[in-house]
Structure 1
């Protein structure tokens, strides 16, 4: 199947069209992720308190699935 570059439905826009009356800060806040996508930083961790592997495990962010809660 070939792609027609002149067809407007071929390409999806990366961002939805902005509401003219919506403040820019509110729009940016609404598009931010609620859950962090990476692990916590180990910069403030005390290496004398635990081994490096234990600190890395404690910094791991595990996403909670809706089904896991039940």
Structure 2
């Protein structure tokens, strides 16, 4: 049985270590994007906060539109009014 290169070398990946994924993140960031914007774009989406889509009439709206309408947008007190 053959093993792939690096297997059995004893090295493990620690997902809690910030440097573990730094290279992957750096590759996906736009050099001109503000750091705060780039960080916000990499935040995981939390769909459990959305309202469930119930009683969807297929003739009334496409499923994707109904799901978008059910999205809960958190209130950000720092937003300009």
Q: Shorter-chain-normalised TM-score: which range?
A: 0.3 to 0.5
Structure holding more helix per residue: 2
Structure of higher RCO (CA pairs closer than 8 Å, 6+ residues apart):
1
